[in-house]
Structure 1
């Protein structure tokens, strides 16, 4: 397994990171097998969160006895000092550890949320306090709006940043990653296959790995997935392959969606899950689970075109911070 130094944290991490969110969908016994297999194969970066169901509990049960073998990151979505401190302490108990290497302030997508966590009684104060006592090694941030994350990296000395990076969501390359590089912030790229969507898994993983990200974080829930992901990233990406991957990805981001989730649809159309894979679907097809998810929204596309409250200006477009022509994109996806 190839490794890198995670920015200014100084931590040595595997190029492939284990995203533990999907552990909540499998049994404790299977989770034990999968995560120990991942460690045995050389994966040393483990990512979880308090909001990932029983993921922390399963990790604690499975690998706390191997604590020296991996870098452990967890997250809090709480915004206030008291709630964040309580949640972080609970995470430590569930993970059966005295410390986490990285505590990430999670899913910060609105400026108001950032103001809340940065306030005197905000979540960052709780993280700093626990850091000073040795329970936290480094403080990071996660979110779905790369241009805002870039701004916030200038405002506070976050040690790491977690963001989307894939063939269908390359937006972090434009502002966020250059800013992170200039500040020596550890970069963790998540969702390289965009959740359940991108069918060319190896190429998708290698596209993300061809970037300057220190870790490519992939959600895994089986030994087969662990082995396949490791195989995909065994060797580095050379200049010729990088160019081919960029050519493969060309135009797949024209939907413009960052998955910030500002929008919502009264008809139940999952807008990010519709827009983000739409061009990829037309060109390469989706994984089976992704196609099923996409079709759940597609069944409602015709209603979108005639829904009275959205005739003059669709409600989702009014909420979108990027002013995307969402209804036109849905019409395009209808063919």
Structure 2
């Protein structure tokens, strides 16, 4: 496509042909009001600024893994996503890599009539210009949308290196073109290393960064650089998204509960915390915890960390 208008017009026509245009029905503010009224927390979740994006994000958000990425559990995935939106979740994170595209397909089916209710983030694991352009078109079709609020480089340090993004014809240049065309709204970076992500934020004016934060400090590389990461993120007004709170449930096997692990991560200076959900009762519990969240003290965090690391 030669420009943003052509790309977006093409996508809109394609989506209308394959999916049609639905009605809001019982979703939207009426569904949210009903959901809040029946929840123990009895109200919407707190929100925080998502860096310089201008979006006020709920402190708990939905990740695109677990049930959401399973092609053979499509109906359950759609039900979880709709319930999350009803409960006030307004940020969903996924990736082209998750479930070999199934995560995006499930999310697209759920949000096609609720697109204006969610800040939608997905990722490209291809660090080349042409590869990213192919992936973004696939993602847009799967997600049944013509724009992505946050497009992210997936796992700097694994799928690709920071140096790869500094080269000619890199994914970074593709991201910039897509932003100029209005196909994506913001540019982000993800990874497990505080050092690599710190270097990335110093190298480029990213809008958001997705990083691993959990009490056991597992799947967290270069934790000695975590303070540096948060200092740079604050200075540059980067929205920080936390992930891997329970490390796919493994930390729950150590005798800790999600009522400890989720507030622990939320007590860092993050905009929101994403979690993959396997069943609606788990989602509802996470939302209750987020709705009643209170900042943990240094001592409380140290106690949780000691158990998790033991």
Displacement of 1:73:
0.1
Displacement of 1:192:
1.0
Match of 2:276 among 212, 215, 219: 219
1:290-312 superposed Cα distances (whole Å, 9 cap, x missing partner): xxxxxxxxxxxxxxxxxxxxxxx
Match of 2:196 among 148, 151, 157: 148
User: CA RMSD, aligned part only?
Assistant: 1.8
Aligned-partner Cα distance in 2 for 1:197–1:173: 22
Aligned-partner Cα distance in 2 for 1:213–1:163: 10
> Are 1:209 and 1:237, in contact at CA under 8 Å, matched by a contact in 2?
no
Residue 137 in structure 1 maps to residue 185 in structure 2: yes
Match of 1:182 among 222, 235, 260: 235
Match of 2:265 in 1: 208
Alignment of 1:291-306 (within 5 A): none
Normalization by structure 1: what TM-score? 0.72
**Is the partner of 2:57 in helix, strand or coil?**
strand
Aligned-partner Cα distance in 2 for 1:173–1:220: 26
Aligned-partner Cα distance in 1 for 2:232–2:243: 18
In the alignment, structure 1 segments of 5+ residues that lack a partner are 253-276, 281-335
Match of 2:73 in 1: 27
In the alignment, structure 2 segments of 5+ residues that lack a partner are 1-44
Residue 41 in structure 1 maps to residue 94 in structure 2: no
Displacement of 1:44:
0.4
**Is the partner of 2:210 in helix, strand or coil?**
strand
Match of 1:197 in 2: 250
Match of 1:56 in 2: 104
The 1:151/1:28 distance shift into structure 2, 3 A limit, reads: same
The 1:72/1:150 distance shift into structure 2, 3 A limit, reads: same
> Are 2:156 and 2:196, in contact at CA under 8 Å, matched by a contact in 1?
no
Displacement of 1:28:
1.3
Structure with bigger RCO (C-alpha 8 Å, 6+ apart): 2
Aligned-partner Cα distance in 1 for 2:158–2:142: 29
> Are 2:125 and 2:160, in contact at CA under 8 Å, matched by a contact in 1?
no
Residue 108 in structure 1 maps to residue 156 in structure 2: yes
Match of 2:117 in 1: 69
Residue 86 in structure 1 maps to residue 86 in structure 2: no
Aligned-partner Cα distance in 2 for 1:148–1:249: 26
- The alignment of Structure 1 onto Structure 2 pairs a total of residues equal to 253
Match of 1:14 in 2: 58
> Are 2:125 and 2:159, in contact at CA under 8 Å, matched by a contact in 1?
no
> Are 1:57 and 1:94, in contact at CA under 8 Å, matched by a contact in 2?
yes
Structure ID, larger Rg: 1
Displacement of 1:250:
4.3
Moved over 6 A (4+): none
1:12-31 superposed Cα distances (whole Å, 9 cap, x missing partner): 11100100112123511111
1:147-202 superposed Cα distances (whole Å, 9 cap, x missing partner): 12101101100100000001112736422112111111000000111222122211
Aligned-partner Cα distance in 2 for 1:118–1:58: 33
**Is the partner of 2:52 in helix, strand or coil?**
helix
Residue 5 in structure 1 maps to residue 49 in structure 2: yes
Normalization by structure 2: what TM-score? 0.78
